[in-house]
Structure formats: structure tokens, C-alpha cells
Structure 1
């Protein structure tokens, strides 16, 4: 009996050798990856009592290849070019896209979106990763396919997801436009402190919706809410800092806002590629909650109290902000502030006068030109798709390059805070524009 078994194994080895395939010495779950199905049909990776031979597993995989993959994208692994699709039955289906052979890119897939890949548009190569559990002696295999798209076929569904992803990214900037105007109106009517607190509400709602939604349209609405929150916060923060800060540190505090934004981008670049979709959005939600809680201790601006005639409240908040107990000095500063507030209220201009009065035109031209120049260079697109850009232009890890990009951005913001004191804003703007022009020309 043993001789017959050895003779059978010898014939199988000879047949595998003629087919150009070497029989694995020892069964491992990687051993069947990419093997010829004809060879797998003749092998039994089973000992005594195994449930299914490899031939039946191959046929099951071939039947599965003819089905349509339906579900929604749970998470993306850009390093291994794979995505994890959760099906309606609660099953987890991992799909690996072969680099260099696929029209589809992992970067074009948006987490949380519903996905449906017809079998006629993809050729599925079943990968049987069988393993035998030592204790339970049960044969199992991972639900994993290697998907390649035929070069002649067109997969329109992926193009639709790319367009939805671009909308999700850009709607945050679009929501900041009404957010800026809303922040200006609320800060004058409700006060700086209440406006800062209210700005956290749309941000919290947006982060909460993104955490649990699976619909791209709902995700677009959530991003719009977060953009409104960012616009309100940006305007009110600059107004608040201008009113409470001393002249010596006013510019540095204004630049510190951009430095903190760069720090947040660096945190997302460093954490995002290595955690799941829900974990990343849970972190964003927790940061939004921390922001709302910390703003509870923010005092009101003394300028706003003076516009409402609340002199004792203005003095109290002024002494708290300046961290002083010298009431005589505080009374002197409050008197000076009252003079400025009365002058501003007497010469208050409307939005219409801002565009009709010629004395404001130069300032409008400069600010508008700088912002158009900043966004026309593609800064928003580069920050949003930095990992994808470097993945297509360099043979290095996209997440690692995005982290380096975040560090450079953070360092530039910190350096500008100190260099502006010695060289001025104009020299820094000219240097920055020259560097951006050279970089974009090099990229081509």
C-alpha cells in the first residue's frame, strides 16, 4: 500500500514537472497563490478526514468568479493595493488590484461608498489560500480575489466614483464661502464667543455623519457642513485675535492659526493610511468634541462688550485675558478701547460701500489676487491628493511621502512665523511664489 502511494506521488511530481510547475514541499497558505488550476485539480492539500479536496475548492472559486461583487468599501490598504468590501450578508471580501495590469487604481476608490463590479468587466483569478487548523481540523479559505481589468474593456463605474470623490473633497472649500459671511454676521450680532461655540455644531454634525454614512451624497452634505464650520471659525478667530492681542504678537498669532492647520494635516497624513475608515473618522469626531468643550472657557472679546455698553463685563474679561490685577491700568486701556469703538461705530461702512468706495479697492485687489493665486496653484488639490500624486510620479511609498510633505508644510509655517519679523511679509510672499512656480514647472 505504501509502495502504491509513493508511486502515485512520483507520477504526480513528473506530471507537474512537465507542466513547468514545481510541487510545494510543504503546504502553506501562500503556496497556491497564482498556481495553474489544472495542477490544483490534481492535488489534495488534505490529510485524513479533510472535508474538501482542492478540485472542489477550485470549482467553487470558478463559480464565485462569475458572480458580481456587491457591497461597500470598508477600508483601503494603499500599500498592498487592496480594498476590503463588506457584503450585505455581513461577509468581508478582500480584493487586491494588481499594479501595472489594472486600469482601476486603489486611489480612485472612496471608502464608505457602495460598490458593484460586474463580472464581464473584470477577469477574476481565484486565489485559494487553504489552511488546516490544528485544533479543529477544518478546511477554510480566505475570500480573496486578484482582480485585473481587460485592457480593451471600459469600467465606467470607477469613473463615477472618482467624480464623487472629487465632489466630497471640494465641497469643504465650497462650504467655507457662506461660512465666512455667516461668521462675520454672527460675530457682530451674537458675539465672538458664542459664534466660536456655534461653529462647532456643524463640524460635529459633519464628522458624525461621515462616521456612519455609506452614501456619497450624504457624505457630500457632511463635508459641506464641515466647510461652513471651517469658514465661520476662520473669520471669527482672526477677528478675536485682532481684538485681544497686543500689537507686538498680533502677526505671530495670526500665522499660528495656519501653523495649527498644518499640524492637523500632518496628523491626518500620519494616521490616515494606517488605520481603518471608522477609526480615522472617530479621531476627527473626538477632536471636534474637544474643540467644543475647550471653547467653553473662552472669554468674550472686550470690544464686543463695549459695543453693547457693558463696561464692567469688558473690564473683567480684559483683566482675565491680560492676566493682570492692576485695575488702574485696566481702566486706562478700557478707556482707550472705548474711544476706538465709538469712532468705528460712527464711521461704520456697509458691504456695498466696500466695493463702491475707491479707498478700499487696492486692499480688495491685493487680497483677492493673493487668494486666487494661492488656490490656482492647486494647493487644495495637492493637499487632498498628495498620496495619489506621489504614487503616480515616484516609485516610493505614498503614505511616507505624504508624511514628509506634512512635515515640510509644518516647518515652513513655523519658519514663516519667525522670518516675517525680520524680512517682512512681502519678501516671504515673493519667495513663496517663486518656489511654487519652480516646483510646478519641475513637476510638469
Structure 2
């Protein structure tokens, strides 16, 4: 059913470890924040319970770091290459987790969360582009969404380990993951052939393709010519202003940024950050930590299914199914919270089922394909800058929804907050129907022709 080279797959899977690192930083708050509210110094290393304001900063500062990261890493990716850039992105996460393990002070926690954001934001901006550039046209969709499997595995790790481990061993284990990525990626991964052709290093690009495809020089000749053809109109390295000079790049920017804004306005990061606290507030019959693990497992299972259909059903189909399911789940969840006080105990399973539907729906469409589509739409010369702006959009949206999630709950009620997120999903459906192109199975050159019309 699928044709791909073993070494290409090995390279993509190794690169995807950085995605696992990025998402461990996101759900780290879910099991840790309840501990930081504890009066027990054996549980809470800070010595005293945090305040709601301090909680909001611990939860949201990662987004500030992630906002800072995309443009510098996009520049570094253009100048020094995708591989060196991805190796550099892993380092702040290692430092962050070690600080959280051994420097138990609130302000060090703030700084560590900023550093974690640098890794999360950098990974989101550069990793999808690297994967798209080392994959073949025939399997680019499948290999691109394997990143989502590693992201969701990263979500699961804090849910599983966090409630049952003390803070020091928990963070030491998390620090090991980016260190492992650094070593494996350094040894295994070649540089992107698109980057090398763009630098006019044709011989090295050919060597990269030979390694990725496990073929002889003659066996990669056609693909090398295709890459050169896609870059033949690129006379210089793109800058941010080039995004506005052609119809294709401008449309790519508008579509990619809008899709990513809708991804965050669905509330996904707010839900992931505060999963355990949401379950505690819902009054569900299941313990909050068990419910969080269920959510993480559902995310992982659903993400394992999508790669097998990404290149057969198409991006738009998954996006449509995703947003309809997400909207329904949010409406049901909001309705549950609205009537919670008058509901019988027999319906306390509704929050878990609703959040499972919510997570599955996002995980089969809007989460992976917002990134996949952005990595496909931009021309190669502006891809690092374009995807960096998309990543910046993601983290600005994430900061808004996570920093002000509790304020929204206070103003609108939890029901109103979830209904608001559901309303944004409805707008996302309309946007996808009328403006998002189908990119399944198309080369980068073909996608540019579609956008230029």
C-alpha cells in the first residue's frame, strides 16, 4: 500500500523524537500543578502552595518562549541548515528539565518554562518542514503525520509518570529524551536535500538523497532534477517580505496562519495544560489522574491510525471530519457544565466521553494537518520563514487560551468557554470548505501552480 525507503523512515522517526520532547513540555503542567498546590513539602518542592496567578504564569510562560523561537530558528535553518538547527533546538529542553529537577524555586520554574517553550516553538516551526523535505511526494503525507504520533506519545508521558513520581526523578527522566534525540539525530540524519540544492551544493544533495532512498546515483537522478526544477525560480534566499510578493506565497501565508489560529482557538493547548484540573472540576466518577491517562492513550491510538490514510483520503476530508467532531464534543461538554449541578450521578461519564471525542477529533485532522499543510504550501525559498510565522501564530494563540483560560471560566463560566471554542470550530469548517486546497500526492511545484491561480 505504501512505498518508502527504510532509511527515510528511520530518519523521520529519529527526527520525530524532537516532537515527543516538545509535547512533554506541554502536558508537564497537568500532573505537576496539583502538586504545587499542596501544603506538603514532600510533594511540593516550592515549600508553599502557588496562587492562581502563579499557576497561570507556570502554564502560559512556555508560550512566550515558543513565540521567541520560530523566527531565530527559521533564520538559523536557512543559514546553517535544518540538521544543525534541529540539534540546537533540543538543548534548551535538556536545561529546562534539569532546572525543574534541581533548582526548586518559583522564579527558576518560570525561567525553565520559558526555555521549554524555546524547544517546543522551535520544533513546531522547523521539524515539519524537515520531514516534508526528506520524504518522497508519494508518502509525504503519511510520513508528515507520523510526527503527530510522537507528539501524542510526548503528551502521554507526563500523564502516566507525573502523578506517581516525585518531581526530581520525573524531570530527570524527561531530560533524558532530548539528550537521546540529540545523539541519534546527530548520527543518523542527513541534511535536507532541498536545503543543499538551495545552497548550490548539488553533490552533497545527491549524497543525501542516495542515503535517504538507499539508491545509486542514477536511482536518485530524477528526484534531484525535480528538486532543482522546484527551485529554479529561486534566485536568492527568501526573507519575510517575499511572502507578500507573489500570489502563491501570500495565499500560503493566509491559509496556513488562519488554520493554525483555528487550531489554537479550538482550545486544545488549554485543555492539554489543565486536563487534570478540568476533570477535578467536572465531578467525574473517575479519578482525575486516571482520566488524564485515558485522554493521553486515546490521543496516541488515534494518531497511530491516521498515517495509513493521510495519502488516500486527503487533507481536507480529515480536516472536515475533525472540526465537526470537535465542535460537537465542545457543545456537549459545555452543556454538561451548564447543567452540572442538577445532573444525576449516572451521567458523570459525559466529561470523559466528550473529551475523548474532542481529543480524537482534533488528533485526526486539525492538529497534524495544520502543520502538514503549512509545510507543503510555502515555496522552498520562504518555507523556513513561513513555517516560523505559522509556529508563532500557534504559540500566540496558545498563550492567549492558556493564560486567560481561568479568566474565561470566571467571566463566561466553564460552559460558555467550551461553547466559545465550539463556535471557532464552526468558523474553521467554513474556512476549510472555501479556501483550503487539497495537497495530497502533489509535488511542491504542483502546489505552487495551484496557489498561483
Which of the numbers 60, 71, 84 marks the counterpart of 2:40? Answer: 84
Q: Which runs of 4+ in 1 moved over 4 A?
A: 75-79, 356-359
Q: Which residue among 158, 172, 179 is the counterpart of 1:289? A: 179
**SS in structure 1 at match of 2:163:** helix
Which residue is 1:225 aligned to? 115
Q: Distance in 1 between matches of 2:124 and 2:61?
A: 16
Asked if residue 302 in structure 1 is aligned to residue 193 in structure 2, the reply is yes
Return the match for 1:191 from 78, 81, 90: 81
CA separation of 1:214 and 1:254: change in aligned 2, threshold 3 A: same
Question: Alpha carbons of 1:344 and 1:408: their partners in 2 closer, same or farther (altered >3 Å)?
Answer: same
Deviations 1:142-172 (A, max 9, x none): xxxxxxxxxxxxxxxx5x6222122122122
Q: Which runs of 5+ in 2 are unaligned?
A: 1-30, 335-453
Partner of 1:112: 45
Partner of 2:346: none
CA deviation profile, 1:275-298 (whole Å, cap 9, x unmatched): 111111011111121111112112
* C-alpha displacement of 1:402: 0.6
- Cα offsets for 1:72-96 (capped at 9, x unmatched): xxx98979x965315xxxxxxx8xx
Which structure ranks higher in relative contact order (CA pairs < 8 Å, sequence separation ≥ 6)?
Answer: 2
Matches of 1:266 and 1:401, distance apart in 2: 12
* Inter-CA distance 423–314: structure 2 relative to 1 (3 Å threshold): closer
1:263-342 map, 5 Å? 263-297=153-187, 298-324=189-215, 326-342=216-232
Looking at structure 1, the residues matched to 34 and 69 of structure 2 have their Cα atoms a distance apart, in angstroms, of: 34
Structure (1 or 2) with the greater strand fraction: 1
Q: SS of 1:345's equivalent? A: coil
Given the alignment, which residue of 294, 299, 311 partners 1:404?
294
Give the one of 254, 265, 289 matched to 1:376.
265
2:278 is matched with which residue: 367, 389, 410? 389
Residue-by-residue CA offset, 1:102-161 (whole Å, 9 max, x unaligned): xxxxxxxxx43241xxxxxxxxxxxxxxxxxxxxxxxxxxxxxxxxxxxxxxxxxx5x62
Q: Indicate if the aligned counterparts of 1:199 and 1:232 stay in contact, CA closer than 8 A.
A: yes
Tell which deviates more after alignment, 403-412 or 231-240: 231-240
1:330 to partner: Cα distance: 3.0
> What are the superposed Cα offsets for residues 364-419 of structure 1, whole Å, 9 maximum, x if unpaired?
33222222222122211111111111122113211111111111112222233333
Task: Name stretches of at least 5 consecutive residues in structure 1 with no aligned partner.
Answer: 1-74, 87-93, 95-110, 116-157
Aligned partners of 1:395, 1:385: CA distance in 2, in Å? 18
Does the 8 Å CA contact 1:76/1:82 hold for their aligned counterparts? no
Shift of 1:174: 2.5
Structure 2-normalised TM-score?
0.61
* Contact in 1 for aligned 2:279/2:288 (Cα 8 Å): yes
Maintained 8 Å contact 1:76/1:83: no
Give the distance between the partners of 2:163 and 2:194, measured in 1 at CA: 44
Q: Aligned-pair distance for 1:342?
A: 3.5
Does the C-alpha gap of structure 1 residues 306 and 349 become closer, same or farther in structure 2, counting only changes over 3 Å?
A: closer
Q: Are 1:262 and 1:410, in contact at CA under 8 Å, matched by a contact in 2?
A: yes
Q: Output the CA distance in 2 between the equivalents of 1:379 and 1:231.
A: 16
Normalized against structure 1, the TM-score is what? Answer: 0.62
Contact 1:76 1:84 in 2 (8 A): no
Structure with the largest fraction of helix: 2
Query: What is the number of residues matched between the two proteins?
Result: 301
CA contact (8 A) 1:78 1:273 kept: no
- 1:354 paired with 2:243, answer yes
Separation of aligned partners in 1, 2:314 and 2:32: 44
Considering only CA atoms, is the larger Rg found in Structure 1 or Structure 2?
A: 1
Q: Which residue is equivalent to 1:205?
A: 95
Identify which of 268, 293, 303 aligns with 1:413: 303
